[in-house]
Chains A and B, each alone.
Chain A
Amino acid sequence: MKFQKRTRSSLFIIALLLLLAACSDSDEGSTGKESNGDSDKASTQKITIFQSKVEISDQLEALAEEYTSETGVEVEVWGTTGDDYFEQLQIRLNSDQGPSIFSLQNVMEAEKMKSYVADLSSEGYAKDIAPGMELKVDDKIVGVPYGVEGFGLVYNKDLVKPEDIADYDSFVSTLEKFKADGITGLGLSKEAYFLIGHISNYPFSLQSDHYEFIDKLTSGDVTMAETKEFQEFGKFMEAIKVNTPSPLDVTYDKEVGDFAAGKSAMIHQGNWAYGMLSDFDIDFEVGMLPFPLMGTDKLAVGVGNNWAVNGKKDEAETKAAKDFLNWMFTSETGHRYIVEEFGFVPALTNIEANDLDSLSQDVLNASNSGQTIPWAQNYYPANIVPNDFAPKAEEFFLTKDMTGQEFIENLDDAWKNAVK
C-alpha cells in the first residue's frame, strides 16, 4: 500500500518533469530552426532599436518603415523611457533581451558597455565623421554621433535683445525687469537634465582644461566652492531662483509651451526644442544666445548621443544592424531624415545641411566659427545628474534662503558621493 502510494506520486512528478522538459525542448527546437532560416535569407532578419531621444521616436519609426519597405528587413523601434534609459538598457542587455542598436551618451557609458559595443571603425561612413566627434573606446570607433547639438538661452527676439544678457549684471537686471512685467524671465523645467544637468556645464567648460579639472575634482585637489567660475555660477542660479517661478512645477512640455505662448521670455534649452516649438504657431522669431557666465559669448556645443551596435548578438543580427546604420548614413533617405525629420545638425561631413531651423542654424554658425565651449557633462561620472545633482538642485529651489554659494558646496558633496 505504502509503496504503491509513493510510486504513484513519484510517477506523477516524473511525468510532470517530462512534460516540462518536453515543452522546453520543443521550444528550443523551433527557435533554433527559425534562426537557422534567418541566416539563409536576410529578408526575414529582424533588428531592434532602443534609443534615448524621445523627440525623434515617431520619426525614427517612420524611417524604420521606409527601410523595411526598401530592403525587407524588419526594424522594430522600442519605446523610449526618458531619464532612466541607461538603467533600462542595462537591464535588457543583462537579461539577454537587448536591442541590436542602442544609444550611448558619452565615453563614460561606452566604457561601461565595453563588452557589448561592436567595432565600427571599418564601416564606410567612419571616415566622414567630423573630426573629434566620434565615440572611441580603446582606439576603436564604437559610436557614431546623432548630430552635434548646442544649448544655451533660447530667447524670444521680440522680448529680448542680445545685449540684455551679455553678462551677469545685465542678465540680472533683465530678469528683474521681466519679473516686474509678470513674465517669466528664464524658464527651466523639473527634468534632471533641464533643471541642472545642462546648465551645470558652463563653469566646467570654461576651465582651461575641463578634463584635468574634473580629474582634480574627483581626487579632491580642488573644490567647486573655491573656483571662481562656480562662485559666479552660484550667483546666477540665485538670481534665477529669486526672479522666476519655481521650475519644479514645470515639465518640459510646459516650459516650451509657455515660451511659445509668450509667457516666458527665455528658456534654457537646446536646438532640439525647435521640434516642439514648431508644433505651436509661434508668431515671433527665436534664437539662441550663450549663457553669459563670466561674460562668455560662446555656445556649448557637443555630441549628446551616439548610435552603437550590439556586438553580442548573433552575427547575422549584428551585420543587419550595421547595414541599417550604413544605410542611414549613406542613403539619401537617411540623410533627409537626419536633417529634416530628426532636426539634427549633422556630425557627418557627407551630409549636407540646408534649411536648418533657426536654433540649429545658430548652433551650426557657432560651431563653424569656433565660438563654442565643450560639453563637460560627457566626462561627468555616470548618472551623476539624475542621482546626485538633481536632488541638490531641487533642494536649492525649495529652500528660499539657500544662497548660491551654499548650493555650490552642496554640489561638491554630490560630486564626492558620485565618485566614491
Chain B
Amino acid sequence: MQNKHNKGWYLLFTAPLIIIFLTVVVIPFVIGIYYSFFSWDGIAANPKVFVGFDNFIKLFSDTRFLESTWKTTFFTILAVISVNVVGLVFALLVTSKLRTSNIARTMVFMPYLIGGLILGYIWQFIFLDVFTLIGEVTGFEKVFFNWLIDMDFALYALVFVFTWQMAGYIMIIYIAGIQSIPNEVMEASMIDGASWWQRLKNITFPLLMPAFTISLFLTLSSAFKIYDVNLSLTGGGPANSTEMFAMNIYNEIFGYGNYGYGQAKAIIFFFIVAGITLTQVYITKKREVEL
C-alpha cells in the first residue's frame, strides 16, 4: 500500500517536469535534426529544399567553422585548467584555518552571481580603460594594453574573464568535497608524520575525486558552450579571432540566414560536447574511491 501511494506522488511531481523537458528540449532537438537536412533561409513562407547530408559534408570544408572548432577547443583546455586550479587553490585556502575565510569565500563566489552579459561589459571597460591606464602608469605596456583588440590576446582575455566568473562556483564544490573528508583520516596521517604535501597527494586528492568529476564536467561543458561572455566581451572579434562554437552557429543561422546548415553545425556541436563530457565523466568516475 505504501509503495502504491508513493508512486502516485512520484508521478505527480515528475509529470510536469517531463512535459516541460519534452516540449523545450526533446521535441525542438528532433525538429532541429529534421531541419539539418534542408537548405532553408528561415522565413516560413520560403521553400525548404531537401539536400540530404550535404550540409554535413559541407562542414568539413568550411574553414571558418573549423577554425572556430580549434579555437573553442583551445579555449576550453585553457579555461578548464585555469578555472579548476584557481577554484581548488581558493578552496584549500578558505578551508584552512584562515581568519577571513568566510569573507574570502563570499568575495570569490560573488562574480558568479553577476550575469555573463553584464560581466562581459564590465570587463570590456576594464580592459579598455583600466588596463591601458595601468600600462601607461607602470610602463609595462607589453602586458597591460587593451587585450580585446589583439587577435591573440583577446582569447586569453576571454579565458581570464571566464575564470573570474566560474572559479568561485567551482570553489564551492571543492569546499564541499574537502569538508566531507573525515577528520580521523587526517589526524591519523598527521600522527604518522605525513607532511602537508603527502596528505594532499595521498588523502585529499583521492577523496576529492567525486568533486573533480563534477567540477570538470561543469567547466568542460560550460566552456564549450560559452556564448554570453563571448558576445558581450569580444563579440567574436577582432576579425573573428574569438568566434566560439556557439557564436559561429548563431552567426551562420541568423547572420547569413542559413538555417539548415546552421542546424547541421549545431547537431555536430551537440555530439562533440556530449562525447567529450561523457568520456570525461567515465574516466574520472573510474578513479573515484570509496572509503
Contacts and interface: CB of A to CB of B under 8 A. Distances in A.
Interface of A: 4-5, 8-9, 12-13, 16, 20, 84, 87, 90-91, 93-94, 112-116, 246, 248-249, 382-383, 386-387, 390-392, 394-395, 398
A8 B45 contact: no
B256 A249 contact: no
Nearest to B5: A8
Interface string B1-28: 0001001100110011001000000000
Interface residues of B, number: 28
A115 B255 contact: no
Nearest to B146: A249
B256 A12 contact: no
Contacts of B237: 390-391, 394
A392 B254 contact: no
A8 B4 contact: yes
B44 A387 contact: no
B251 A387 contact: yes
A272 to B, nearest CB: 22
Given A4-B4, A90-B43, A249 B128 contact: yes
Contact of B8 (A8, A246, A383): A8
Interface of B: 4, 7-8, 11-12, 15-16, 19, 41-46, 128, 146, 149-151, 237-240, 251, 254-257
B221 to A, nearest CB: 25
A9 B149 contact: no
A391 B240 contact: yes
B43 A248 contact: no
A386 B255 CA distance: 8
A47 B254 CA distance: 26
A90 B254 contact: yes
A308 to B, nearest CB: 15
Contact of A382 (B44, B149, B240, B257): B257
21 contacts: A8-B7, A9-B11, A12-B8, A13-B15, A16-B12, A16-B15, A90-B254, A93-B43, A94-B43, A112-B257, A249-B146, A249-B149, A383-B255, A387-B255, A391-B238, A391-B239, A394-B238, A398-B149, A398-B150, A398-B238, A398-B239
A408 to B, nearest CB: 16
B254 A115 contact: no
Contact of A20 (B7, B12, B19, B240): B19
A87 B255 contact: yes
Contacts of A115: 43-46
**Binding site of A, secondary structure by majority: helix, strand, loop or mixed?**
helix
Contacts of A87: 254-255
B226 to A, nearest CB: 18
A326 to B, nearest CB: 27
A93 B237 CA distance: 28
B150 A84 contact: no
A76 B237 CA distance: 34
Contacts of B257: 90, 112, 382-383
Contacts of B44: 94, 115
A249 B125 CA distance: 11
Contact of A9 (B8, B16, B238): B8
Contacts of A248: 149, 238
A240 B62 CA distance: 33
Contacts of B45: 114-116
Contact of A94 (B8, B42, B150, B251): B42
Contacts of A387: 251, 255-256
Contact of B15 (A5, A12, A390, A391): A12
Contacts of B254: 84, 87, 90-91
Contacts of A114: 45
A249 B12 CA distance: 56
Nearest to A10: B11
Contact of B43 (A112, A249, A392, A398): A112
Contacts of B11: 9, 12-13
